[in-house]
A and B are shown apart, each in its own frame.
Chain A
Amino acid sequence: MSCDMSRDRLWTWVQGEDDDAASRAEISQHLEVCLSCKSEVSDMRDLIGDLQNVAVSCAPVAPTEAPRVIGDYQILRQIGRGGSSVVYQAEQRDTRTPVALKVIGGGPRVNDSQSRLFEREVQTLARLNHPAIAAVLEAGRLDDGSFFFAMELVRGVSLREFAEGRRFEGPDEKPLNLRERLVLFRRVCEGVSYAHQRGVTHCDIRPSNILVSDHGAGHSHGNDLPAFPKLIDIGHARLMGRDEAARSTHGDDGRYVYSLPYLSPEHAQGRQDQIDVRSDIYSLGVVLYELVTGGLPDDGSRNSPRSAVGPSCRQAPVHRGNRKRLVPGELASIILKAMENEPPQRYQSAAALADDIDRFMSGMPVLARPLSTRYQLRKLVARHRLPFALAAMLLLSFVGSGVAALLQARQISSDAARSQRVQAILESFYEAPDPERSGRRDVTVIQSLDAKAKALTEELDDDPLVAAAVRNTIGNTYRSLSDLPSAALHLTFALETRRKLLGDDNIETAKSMNDLGELRVLQEQPDQAENLWQAALAVRRSVLGPDDPRVAETLNHLGVLKSQDGERFEEAKANLEEALRIRRNVLAAVQADSAASREVRLARENVARTLNDLGGLYRIRHTPDEFADAERSYREALRLRQESFGPVHPQVAKVHNNLGKLLQSKGEFDAAEQCFQTALRILRSDHSYGDDHQYIARLLSSIAQVKLARGDISAAQAFGEEALALREKLLGATHAETTESRRFLDSLVSSRAAAN
């Protein structure tokens, strides 16, 4: 190595054995700039990967000299070898068509199992005709008893290599950015989905089985990314609903013969009857993880056989070499949902996974989150603007005329408490009855806001501090209306102006930092958000003291942000617990000093919200202690919200749902079902939701899952059917959630058939 970093340190780091957080951070930063060490680390990871593959397979075959001719094919060179097969690059002698020729065994060594495997592979592949799947051109048997088949020769590099910029021909290019990687992955999903629809599961999806070339055809996305993936080696694919004898006998040895990190738990455990399309979804999840982060889920939780028997991987994906860099929250949720331990918890189809990727790329809410998170609310705001028309109109009423706006702005500028109250009012509109029911978008509101904001900006040109206060509020409103570029424009102006005129250590500046941080999270820039919040926190603590509710606000933000990084659990916990302490004190003070029910309710809701976030944090750890803490937090949040809102309120239902999800994770299916049923009753009886609502369908689906977990397949089917009917009615037959419900029911029917 050409730098001072010792290889011992790198080995310790690569193997997850560096206990010193500062040292880990130093190495991560070093790898960002040192290509030599980066390459070194890459080699180390490859070595470990090879070690795992070799150690678990124990199945080499002695190299043999390649024949010159096989059947009608002229052999050019050997390009690969499996445990019982050799793959050659060859060409058809008459047409000179280039092919990849796969030959199974040598006559005497071919046994029935190998023959069956080969025949099945041929049957499987012969049915497939898709640009993302390598086509089978011919198959047959040679004189010596060996089988062969000729496949389309794919001139590409593995998915991993392609993402890193390597090309089959020509010079390397820049590594793909996140969006390009997702586009590429989306195309892989198309191929997998196509195969699934024809009853074919791949069963061995991994980056080396996905070759990518930079020229080809067949994708009709309108996206011009020159990347054409092809799935190869579907030799382990099993036919769904056919070849039952082979299904029950082949591969029953239960050993880890595939590439471990990508193998689904049910496959790794040899639960042959449970391997279906959702096993491929798991593998796709790991492939996506690797594509997004550059590494595999580490700490042994996913790249070892232990994963097959351990709990679900619930740690947020982290970038290889820079653990502080967060994977965008929605994307992390997509990955984790695909990699759920239990198949019913995963996406039920490759199409559903692809749809969620699409949603993520287009800024729509993804399905990979429970309904109870504040995230949902934020995304609802982002997508459905009608209720936020009220908030915007409120703002417009402030700024409707120049004089009124100026007065209002001066108040905001001079009175932080007033500003906070305005924000609280706006926030109360954010939690207005669900906008999904209307499903309408009111673009005139944002158009009006554009015009007013422009006029106001010009009008306040002579008073930058007032302009900063107003534009901070305008920015927040744009943020609520999901116009992030406009929000950034105004919030950045407000922050820069305040920094310039008031300095960094000013409470108004801190507010701008806090608000801009919230925007950065929506813009998937968590590092920037964290920096802003840390700065805002320091100012608020020093100016307002450690017990001010605004300190708690920023602490809560930081805690939620850090909770997305499994490695920062303790930091997140410290932030949220501190926020909780402050908010509890505020609540006590308000209850003692004020009879104003609204003040008390607001303070109580703040406590409930932090408790809910803490519950979510504890829940991801999957340990008995943390499960207990999560349950305590949820139960107190529930009690507080019931005090504020009464027993029947959507906010109460959300905590019931969260608690249900927790209990479901703990395996307490009876109690989980009670929670879901309670939430269901509340939503059905609450006038703001009505009987037909997407949330209700989700709760029905959750109940179906716990019924299934308890072995009550009939009830699971009944609830699953109800969820499906509702989703078909609300969302249409092709919506991803509808498809998910249908898949769930299909798997139930299959299970019943198998049981009978």
Chain B
Amino acid sequence: MELTTEKSLTESGPTGTTRNGIGDTSVVIIEKYKDALHRFCMGYLGDEALAEEVARETFASLSDGRELPAVDLRPWLYKVARNHCLEIMRRRQPSISRNGFADAARLGAGRHAGDVYNERQELMRQVLSNMPEEYRSVLMLKHVEGLSRAEIAEALEVSEPTIKGRLVRASEHLREALRNQSGSIS
């Protein structure tokens, strides 16, 4: 159903980015999700090239039909990308920490002029980097990628009630960790 929506958007968008993509759904999908997936993978891997590779691999899975989405495209993309990331992290544990945000931070310096920096944000990065993956993923998918509870449940392959509870625990974990590190929040 996502594909239908996509097609409709493509055909109807008067000023869309996909002027060259009409009739080529894969191109449209990649165009639409590549940045989001790249960002999502960066949170895990902290490596630009690797994140791009995982995003490409995810899209390749789509276009070659190896793993076709059963229900909805968006959560499926995140599920596949996350699994790729976790696999890479498992394989390369000695050389790549789970500290994706911290690594990404060092690599990304200078790229985002004007983005206001402050101490709290740096603390936030550290806390995110050290957060259990199941917490971080649910927060990222909810608040950064904007997925619904049902979509997150599909992407993480757990039930919706689990997601609901996990969101609360993850948020509280984040808050407590920040409070412990800064000693000044709230």
Contact = CB atoms under 8 A, between A and B. Distances in A.
B112 A55 contact: no
A711 to B, nearest CB: 8
Interface stretch (A57-65, A516-524, A651-659): A57-65
B15 A304 contact: no
Nearest to B15: A274
B44 to A, nearest CB: 12
Given A7-B172, A60-B125, A114 B146 contact: no
A543 interface: no
Contact of B139 (A12, A51, A204, A269): A51
A278 to B, nearest CB: 11
Tell which of A15, A44, A85, A666 has the most Cβ of chain B within 10 Å.
A15
B35 A55 contact: no
Given A55-B43, A253-B111, A257-B115, A709 B14 contact: yes
Contacts, number: 196
A56 interface: yes
Nearest to B19: A711
A109 interface: yes
A566 interface: no
A54 B121 contact: yes
A256 interface: yes
Tell which of B15, B38, B107 has the most Cβ of chain A within 10 Å.
B15
Contacts of B147: 300, 306
A185 B39 CA distance: 34
A11 B109 contact: no
B144 A82 contact: no
A11 B139 CA distance: 12
Contacts of A667: 8-9, 11-13
Contact of A235 (B104, B109, B114, B175): B114
Interface string A1-42: 000000110011001010000000000000000000000100
A61 B116 CA distance: 11
B143 A111 contact: no
Interface in A227-242: 233, 235-236
Interface stretch (B53-61, B84-92, B163-171): B163-171
A184 to B, nearest CB: 22
Contacts of B14: 342, 344, 705, 708-711
B180 to A, nearest CB: 14
Contacts of B96: none
B15 A52 contact: no
A254 B13 CA distance: 19
A705 B124 CA distance: 45
Given A44-B171, A54-B101, A304-B143, A85 B15 contact: no
B149 A17 contact: yes
Given A257-B111, A709-B14, A8 B168 contact: yes
B105 interface: yes
A257 B87 CA distance: 28
B116 A82 contact: yes
A343 interface: yes
Contacts of B185: 43
A83 B143 contact: no
Contacts of B110: 59, 61, 83-84, 105, 109, 111, 114
A61 B109 contact: yes
A443 interface: no
B111 A11 contact: no
Contact of A60 (B113, B122, B145): B122
B179 to A, nearest CB: 10
A305 B144 contact: yes
A114 B39 CA distance: 22
B144 A56 contact: yes
Interface string A322-363: 000000000000000000001110000000000000000000
A716 B175 CA distance: 53
B27 interface: no
Contacts of B143: 15, 48, 51-52, 55, 300, 303-304
A726 to B, nearest CB: 23
B34 to A, nearest CB: 8
A50 B171 contact: no
A47 interface: yes
Interface string B110-154: 111111111111101100100000000001101111111100000
Given A256-B35, A667-B8, A12 B164 contact: yes
B174 interface: yes
B113 A53 contact: no
A400 interface: no
Contacts of A303: 143, 146
Contacts of B17: 269-271
Contact of B112 (A44, A57, A266): A57
A257 B164 CA distance: 29
Contacts of A11: 167-168, 171-172
Contacts of A307: 146
Given A80-B116, A83-B115, A708-B14, A55 B172 contact: no
B144 A15 contact: no
A662 B113 CA distance: 41
Tell which of A11, A109, A309 has the most Cβ of chain B within 10 Å.
A309
A117 B114 CA distance: 10
Contacts of B11: 667
A38 to B, nearest CB: 13
Contacts of A344: 14-15
B113 A114 contact: yes
A73 interface: no
B186 interface: yes
B155 interface: no
A255 interface: yes
Interface in A701-737: 705, 708-711
A375 interface: no
A258 B146 CA distance: 16
Given A40-B186, A83-B117, A300-B146, 12 more contacts: A11-B172, A15-B142, A43-B186, A50-B120, A55-B144, A58-B107, A59-B104, A81-B116, A256-B35, A300-B147, A300-B148, A306-B146
Interface of A: 7-8, 11-12, 15, 17, 40, 43-44, 47-48, 50-61, 63, 80-85, 104-105, 109, 111, 114, 117, 204, 208, 233, 235-236, 253-258, 266, 269-271, 274, 300-301, 303-307, 309-310, 342-344, 666-669, 705, 708-711
Interface of B: 8-9, 11-15, 17, 32-33, 35-36, 38-39, 42-43, 101, 104-105, 107-122, 124-125, 128, 139-140, 142-149, 164, 167-168, 171-172, 174-175, 178, 185-186
26 contacts: A15-B167, A17-B149, A43-B186, A48-B171, A50-B120, A52-B143, A54-B124, A58-B39, A58-B107, A59-B105, A60-B105, A61-B117, A80-B116, A83-B110, A83-B111, A83-B112, A84-B113, A104-B113, A254-B35, A269-B17, A303-B143, A303-B146, A305-B146, A666-B12, A667-B11, A711-B14
* The 3 residue pairs across chains A and B that have the minimum distance between CB atoms: A667-B12, A304-B146, A306-B146
